[in-house]
């Protein structure tokens, strides 16, 4: 890689040992991908919690904090595995909770803003077209690249922290024009509405095209999606397909036309998604034992608009005896939802609102599932329907209204 004088100095230790090691990590990744240079970044978003890091990661953070490592670029944190206010009631491990508190302390000492949200693009920072970032959590990355036209690769926790310390990333992948062109076309022949339908579309497209470098171009959109619909589409594409970018002709900034989205290249394939294809996704789930006592609105965290919709759907109702409903959101959204009364409506219905977390990364979730007799998890999020299966849930995607009805009646449909 071609290095600047400043970067060569960093590798010699001019900015300390911690920065030297951070740049060395980035250099190896850059060499792997054949990057020619580093490029500066203006915003960093990292995933770091005890469930994902483990003790090894916590030891690493302790060392960094001890070395007085300091992040120079604004850096925020993703959803974590504990909402401390609910930890005991959820049967989460007190020892792990203490580690999580220590971990948060380490991050704050290193100048990390522990915001605990996976919807930073809705709540914290809206990058501009062409802005270079180092974001982690795949849902944030695909949003930044696709909806904002900003440029970032998937940056995992250690890589994001390195970027915040060095102020740069190696230029490969989605920093380069050639990877941002659409690679295949998806004609959407159905008018999609519910978040779960956008997620179902993403499931169809992502599962059949698993590749970080696959960039679908959606055409034929009859009803342009809202921000939250784009959120569910993107998060699910990233989850099922490991994808980091999509275009939507006439909707996303680098796709004013199909030709522009394809950037002069020929699409490798054209697929067509019909209403029947979407219906088949919903019909494809099986309820293993007839139970429907665990309903989740999470992954990604809920925006204020989603909180409002849920409060309207749950208004005046009670969740069925023996059913648990989790809603997760960011602290700022929750404050607004409380000020507006949405949170109180949800809680009056018996919904548990968890702050700063995502359900599929909750510490102790596998044992929580067993202890509560949760066989099936029902959600309107196609992403969490995919990700939570590691905890041996059987999962079922349903539209938002259906999820609320199932939660309140105890009857599966």
**Contact residues for other proteins (CB under 8 A)?**
25, 28-29, 31-34, 47-48, 52-57, 59-60, 78, 136-138, 153-159, 172-173, 210-213, 238-240, 242, 244, 386-387, 389-390, 392
Both tokens of residue 359? 């359900």
Interacting residues of 7 by C-beta distance below 8 A, sequence separation 6+: 23, 38, 168
Q: In the bound complex, what is the minimum distance in angstroms from residue 20's beta carbon to other proteins? A: 15
3-class DSSP assignment, residue 88: coil
Whether the ω angle into residue 300 lies within 30 degrees of 0, i.e. cis, is yes
Closest CA to 319 of 352, 274, 289, 341: 352
Taking the least distance from each CB to other proteins, the nearer of 132 and 402 is 132
Number of helices (H), then strands (E), belonging to the chain: the values are 17, 14
The whole-angstrom separation of Cα 256 and Cα 217 is 11
Question: Closest separation between CB of residue 56 and other proteins, Å?
Answer: 3
The least distance separating other proteins from the CB of residue 402, rounded to whole angstroms, comes to 24
Q: Least separation, in Å, of the C-beta of 314 and other proteins?
A: 30
Neighbours of 332 (CB within 10 A): 16
Residue 125 or 360: which CB sits closer to other proteins?
360
Q: How far is the CB of 154 from other proteins (least distance, A)?
A: 5
Choose between 155 and 194: whose C-beta lies nearer to other proteins: 155
Closest CB to other proteins among residues 336, 359: 359
The whole-angstrom separation of Cα 127 and Cα 147 is 10
Closer of 185 and 214 to other proteins (Cβ): 214
CB nearer to other proteins: give 136 or 351. Answer: 136
Query: What are the tokens at 268?
Result: 């490798």
Least Å distance, CB 405 to other proteins, is 27
Nearest CB to other proteins, comparing residues 1 and 335: 1
Q: Which helix (H) or strand (E) holds 233?
A: helix 227-241
- Judged by beta carbon, residue 251 or residue 285, the one nearer other proteins is 285
Report the distance separating Cα 220 and Cα 250, nearest Å.
9
DSSP 158-212: HHHHHHHHHSEEE--GGGSGGGSS--EEEEE-S---SHHHHHHHHHHHHHTT--T
Q: How far apart are CA 225 and CA 210, in angstroms?
A: 23
Minimum distance, C-beta of residue 238 to other proteins, in the bound complex (Å): 7
Radius of gyration of the CA atoms of the chain, in A: 21
Q: CB of residue 135 vs other proteins: minimum separation in angstroms?
A: 9
Closest CA to 182 of 154, 221, 218, 216: 216
The distance of closest approach from Cβ of residue 239 to other proteins in the complex, given in angstroms and rounded to an integer, is: 5
For other proteins, the closer CB: 42 or 242 = 242
Q: Which runs of consecutive H residues, i.e. helices, occur in 326-364?
A: 331-339, 342-348
DSSP string, 303-319: PHHHHHHHHHHHTT--P
Could you give the CA distance from residue 39 to residue 31 in angstroms, rounded to a whole number?
14
Residue 158 or 167 having the CB closest to other proteins? 158
Give the span between the Cα atoms of 23 and 120, in whole angstroms.
Answer: 25
> How far is CA 91 from its chain centroid?
25
Q: Residue 383 Cβ, how far from other proteins at the closest point, in Å? A: 9
């Amino acid at each position: 890689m071609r290095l600047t004088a400043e970067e060569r100095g960093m590798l010699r230790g001019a900015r300390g040992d911690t920065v030297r090691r951070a740049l060395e990590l980035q250099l190896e990744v850059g060499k792997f991908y054949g990057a020619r240079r580093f490029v500066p970044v203006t915003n960093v978003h990292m995933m770091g919690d005890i469930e994902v890091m483990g003790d090894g990661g916590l030891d690493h953070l302790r060392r960094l904090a001890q070395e007085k490592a300091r992040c120079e670029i604004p850096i925020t944190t993703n959803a974590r595995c504990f909402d401390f206010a609910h930890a005991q009631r959820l049967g989460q491990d007190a020892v792990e909770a203490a580690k999580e508190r220590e971990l948060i302390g380490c991050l704050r000492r290193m100048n990390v803003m522990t915001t605990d949200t996976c919807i930073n693009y809705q709540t914290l920072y809206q990058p501009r077209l062409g802005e270079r970032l180092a974001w982690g959590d795949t849902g944030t990355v695909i949003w930044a690249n696709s909806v904002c036209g900003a440029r970032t690769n998937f940056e995992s926790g250690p890589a994001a922290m390195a970027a915040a310390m060095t102020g740069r990333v190696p230029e490969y992948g989605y920093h380069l024009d050639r990877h941002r062109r659409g690679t295949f076309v998806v004609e959407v022949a159905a008018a999609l509405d519910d978040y779960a339908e956008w997620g179902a579309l993403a499931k169809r497209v992502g599962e059949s095209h698993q590749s970080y470098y696959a960039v679908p171009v959606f055409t034929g959109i009859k009803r342009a999606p809202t921000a939250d619909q784009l959120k569910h589409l993107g998060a699910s594409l990233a989850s099922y397909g490991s994808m980091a970018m999509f275009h939507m002709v006439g909707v996303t900034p680098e796709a004013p036309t199909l030709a522009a989205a394809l950037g002069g290249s020929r699409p490798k394939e054209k697929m067509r998604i019909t209403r029947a294809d979407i219906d088949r996704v919903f019909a494809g789930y099986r309820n293993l034992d007839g139970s429907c006592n665990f309903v989740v609105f999470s992954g990604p965290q809920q925006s204020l608009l989603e909180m409002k919709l849920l409060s309207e759907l749950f208004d005046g109702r009670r969740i069925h005896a023996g059913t648990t409903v989790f809603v997760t959101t960011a602290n700022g959204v929750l404050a607004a939802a409380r000020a507006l009364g949405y949170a109180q409506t949800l809680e009056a219905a018996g919904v548990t609102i968890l702050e700063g977390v995502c359900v599929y990364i909750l510490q102790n979730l596998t044992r929580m599932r067993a202890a509560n007799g949760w066989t099936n998890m029902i959600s309107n999020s196609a992403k969490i329907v995919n990700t939570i299966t590691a905890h041996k849930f059987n999962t079922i995607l349903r539209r938002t209204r259906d999820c609320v009805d199932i939660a309140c009646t105890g009857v599966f449909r």
